[in-house]
Structure 1
């Protein structure tokens, strides 16, 4: 391998001789809670359906009409009445008992802490990683955050409202520390504030920690919740918010951004280890870089030279040539100043070596859900990871004609305006994700599709004349009500997937990749229909021949054959012949 990538800084001899896969980081788990998108499937559907999640500000947050004014200079007023908001139930709701937290402490906790706990758990389950198995491991936690709306809300209650839980409940460092404490993690644990680039900088730090061996696994996240009007008025006074309530990324109508809120979490592991462990791999992080503008016309004004530099550093780190990049998820706020600067940097770093008929496709999820600020980068990264997984590029909204200061053809850029295939699906799918912070901290992360690996056959399939073996789906929860909810979620998955559901794969995930709680059920069946019937009965709290329920009294589960004699001739023989794991234990 050459010691330099065309158009990028030279790498050291040691780096040049290192297989890129040895430096790559696998994204093995993801979760999100975004405007009108509670989960990965809902997020992907929102993106591909060209849905805008921007709505009028709910009255449960603040009186948007009372605060509205067409002039951003009017004291105490803001030019917009809209934003991308989560359902109030997702912000207020929290199962404190699930995490062993008292109601009084939960009330004092910033909802950002509560949501991060929930989504970190979901992301680990998405990674088929049992959270309890991470106790005392060098798992790192890196969280991007920049606002303290809940602290502002509590201060309005006066000094008398401060309790012994207030400091820990509102201290921003605890956003990361709370996850580490609950799971018993001993790796680095820090909250990052680099402004709007915070969550992508958190991902970069997680990647570097894994590469150094400082962390064995990493949880990277970003969160923003818009709970009080103060933060929106503060952003509006800078003059950056769109009075139209839309984000017109790279469009001639660009007049500012619209605020959004939400949370995203990814679970990262060195690629070589993820492959060895048989983990699910959504995509691979090939490289990343962070820098700062280092001074411009103002502290809030971006510099094209600095953004170009961070792009070159990231692709040098990834050891990838510019023309291999097929898509970039833009920072793309839709501001008259920021968009032309970003376009110029992209054109210089990634467009200059491309042919005119092979432009770089670009887009921004801010046109769908608003600018999530400290969570913007992670929202863009998850969007791009889903685009790689589904081998489809969703559209960027609100684009009709380019900003006159953005010569797209000259820069070799093209805004992705329709749902469609990648420009070169025959190649490895490679994309970049950008995030720029007010104050000048820039971050860029490069994603690539997971390497193709041959499927490993875990057990010998039964012969055709032996008939179908029944499959067991274990379901568990902390309460009977939660058990029914789990059953309904799994049933919905079966109904959506239909005959394509892999019953054995689901069984493996439920057995090895989920925590086994006290309230338990087992659904047994030979077909998806059998299993669905059992799940629906469990969800409805009614008996069914394919369903067994019970509670764990304590101690470890054991497999016992009674010593009084068999209940039928040859009991266990069929299982012994066709289950190597059972046969090995019995022998």
Structure 2
């Protein structure tokens, strides 16, 4: 039945089917030319459709429409040259009974007109069902008038009958006698596919359009480079992110033998007077003895006695320097105005007995030399200093108004602020306490002799071993379990971790396209003053510091996505910090909770590097648009009051609500200094973001899809006379359009003229089995430029094969990729090919077929054929 219906459509353009002899109520239709009546669109499969309607006799006619589409779909592509991609909802229509029923139609807006016109351009078949009780007359008017007296079929569609006809061959109108309920629907071809070949011009607005809070209006201080060196080989920012967000790891291990014999100094029951350590865990960086002294123009003799902190500062700082576009060679040729600020809260190297007598003794372990040495090696001219401030404290100092004023006055060639934070916080207690044995002192001195650069004098194949002093066990600050159990029930102190981190900041406009990571939105520092004790944290002072940053940035607490808290893992400090944070965050109601994280649960307390490690983690949170989990959190610290607090302590990843985000870091000093910094940035690293690493092609497509509809010019009541911007209904394969997308999201199209095409000529010929592969010239259609046609008769064979040739030149043959009966087969050529690559027409002996070949100005070619009456 499907084959027969398709054959009727191919031959005469319409087919009439009897559904049932007795009609029942139900219907669907569009009214056509000059049609008037009441209409209603209905989807019987929708969950919003009333049950009585779904169970009514309308279901019979709806099923008939669906069945016709199912029957003919396998046959329409080879016969009619299109596919039934989808169908519209059913439209019910009923004629007006009298003038009192009539009303003025509503004014159509541009979006409705554009959607309707786009749908009608795709409409290939229409199906009309008469559900009765009156009869319907359907008039079909051919669109292509080939003679002076065109035939207009008038079909009587009685109740219980349907008609399906080709939209590209006929216009239609129908009238009903009395109350005749009609149902209609359109079968649609596949939507057009467009390919964007090249994107040029100013595309900054593509990557600049982000969701979430806008960039703060404070002075722009972007983070332009980062350098990191933590335990477990984490020496690049992306490795740190994988560890924080995906691996859920911590870097804490038992004291390695390369440093010292842990069993000699460890006693789980050690007290304050034993001179031993009650913990044997920490986060240790690998390869601290390795140093490329020649790169920094330092002799092996000097490197042997250098504080490893100086070595690490040189190497990690240079990572950030080079990441921002500066190299040693460039700086040696011309010095730069770059400030260096180093955070260093202790010096354990100087506590070790070692032989560094001579000219290098004074500079080998002096704290002040740590930053001076980098200026010296890299030829930097701006002042530098070493501070005991933690990382985020230095961030606040380096981004202070005084420093920014130097940039404005041109004191700095580039507005650089460096944070190169403390080095090696190892957990060793070997000879500090009064109970240390003399033989232990001797062993430490022997090990220290071998500590030095990789070029230092060492026995072949033996790695140097470094021992550090410990001053904090006697104060009970360390965890007996050897982890930072931040916010957990078992929190009993912190574990030390080794880290060196650096970041390069520059006062300039934030340019994501140039590789900037994020923006320092604000930073503040204050002091506890005279509080409970010298080292006890102070909640009110922490509140004031956080409030000052929020005020500086010009944001509201609900805009904060994540806060990287100090979170050392102490039973007292964590609740005080959360309590202060809760008061600030609860000032304004918010819909989503703020994510609370702490990197100390991963890498331990890095002390001098703790603040900058938290700061760099905030930059990563912005770049990836996710909050990271906290390790070792399975039972909440009972002293934490989370009731009514719009915050969440996560144990899994949390994606942010938007592409842009604010992420802050809280840091508190050993002696009562509080610091807070906030970073603003955009997700540049995942598919949820719009960073420069994302495909501009995809961004452009998204913008085009979100663009408002093209302007429709409504000319008369016939939709075929309407005009709409962009590719029109007659656009062909390989047509080329220039597209302009403005920052407001409006798309404009211009059709581009192509050069003369290969294979274009004034004469095309039909060749095939019907003429023994000779050439019959095709006639040019007088009304359609580029359309050529010819006829042939089916001979004794039931199939005839053919190809189209330009200018009787076999090297200019148009053909399909293989022998096919499908009209929709892609046309290849012009080129030389075998006769086996041809179209075949199946028919009865004596039937005549009209073959049409169309070649557009852009080179698109189509082949079709139609049986003549």
TM-score, normalising length: structure 1: 0.69
Which residue of the other structure, out of 573, 582, 605, is the alignment partner of 1:347?
Answer: 582
Q: Does 1:425 align with 2:658?
A: yes
Match in the other structure for 1:204:
396
1:97 and 2:294 are equivalent in the alignment: yes
Match of 2:225 in 1: 29
1:248 to 481, 485, 501: 485
Q: Which has the higher helix share?
A: 1
Q: Higher mean Cα deviation, 289-298 or 387-396?
A: 387-396
Match of 1:443 among 675, 681, 691: 675
What does the per-residue CA deviation read over 1:176-221, in whole Å, with 9 as the maximum and x for residues that have no partner? 1111111211222011113xxx222122222125422254222212
Deviations 1:19-75 (A, max 9, x none): 944512100000100011122222122112101110001122233223223244243
Whole-Å Cα distance in 1 between the matches of residues 580 and 344 of structure 2? 26
Runs of 5+ in structure 2 lacking a partner? 1-214, 433-467, 685-689, 694-869
SS in 2 for 1:256: coil
Q: Determine helix, strand or coil for the equivalent of 1:96.
A: coil
The equivalent of 2:568 in structure 1 is 333
Q: Is the 8 A contact 1:67 1:78 kept in 2?
A: yes
| Unpaired runs of at least 5, structure 1 | 1-18, 457-587
**Equivalent runs, 1:418-497 vs 2, <5 Å:** 418-422=652-656, 424-426=657-659, 428-450=660-682
Compare the two structures and name the one with the higher strand fraction: 2
Q: What is the number of equivalent residue pairs in this alignment?
A: 424
C-alpha distance in 1 between matches for 2:418 and 2:328: 12
Cα offset for 1:239? 0.9
Give the 3 Å change call, closer, same or farther, for CA 410–68 of structure 1 in structure 2: farther
Show the counterpart of 1:510.
none
- CA distance change for structure 1 residues 61 and 136 in 2, over 3 Å: closer, same or farther? same
SS of 2:643's equivalent?
A: helix
Q: C-alpha deviations, 1:510-539, integer Å up to 9, x for none?
A: xxxxxxxxxxxxxxxxxxxxxxxxxxxxxx
**Aligned residue for 1:363?**
597
Among 502, 516, 523, which residue is 1:265 paired with?
502
Distance 1:271 1:281 in 2: 10
Alignment of 1:19-418 (within 5 A): 20-21=216-217, 23-36=219-232, 37-48=234-245, 49-69=247-267, 70-87=269-286, 89=287, 91-134=288-331, 135-153=334-352, 156-157=353-354, 161-194=356-389, 198-208=390-400, 210-214=403-407, 215=412, 216-226=415-425, 229=429, 230=432, 233-272=470-509, 275=511, 279-355=514-590, 358-418=592-652
Question: What is the alpha-carbon distance in structure 2 between the residues aligned to residue 65 and residue 451 of structure 1?
Answer: 47
Compare CA radii of gyration and give the structure with the larger one: 2
CA shift for structure 1 position 451:
10
Contact 1:145–1:199 at 8 Å: present in 2 too?
no
Q: RCO (CA 8 Å, sep 6+): is it higher in 1 or 2?
A: 1
Q: Hey, what's the Cα distance between the residues in 2 that align with 1:232 and 1:331?
A: 24
Contact 2:391–2:615 (8 Å) recurs in 1? no
- Deviation of 1:138 after TM superposition, in Å, equals 2.1
3-state SS of 2:370 partner = helix
CA change 1:201–1:412 in 2 (3 A) is: same
For normalisation by structure 2, the TM-score amounts to: 0.47
Whether the aligned pair in 2 keeps the contact of 1:247 and 1:366 (CA below 8 Å) is: yes
Partner-residue secondary structure (3-state), 2:422: strand
Partners of 1:411 and 1:392 in 2: CA distance: 21
TM-aligned CA deviation for residue 82 of structure 1: 0.1
- In the TM superposition, residue 450 of structure 1 has moved relative to its aligned partner by 4.9
Call closer, same or farther: CA 1:446–1:22 in 2, change over 3 Å: closer
In 1, the alpha carbon distance for the partners of 2:691 and 2:477 equals 50
Q: Contact 2:621 / 2:663 at 8 angstroms: preserved in 1? A: no
Partner SS, residue 448 of structure 1:
strand
State the secondary structure of the residue aligned to 2:367.
coil
1:434 match: secondary structure: strand
Any conservation in 2 of the 1:391–1:421 contact (CA below 8 Å)?
yes
Aligned-pair distance for 1:359? 2.0
Q: Distance in 2 between matches of 1:163 and 1:425?
A: 59
CA distance in 2, matches of 1:451, 1:245: 35
Give the 3 Å change call, closer, same or farther, for CA 361–192 of structure 1 in structure 2. Answer: same
Kept after mapping to 1: 8 A contact 2:425/2:606: no
SS in 1 for 2:651: coil
- The DSSP-based 3-state class of the residue aligned with 2:419 is strand
Deviation at 1:433, TM superposition (A): 0.6
User: Cα RMSD over matched residues?
Assistant: 2.3
What is the aligned partner in structure 1 of residue 85 from structure 2? none
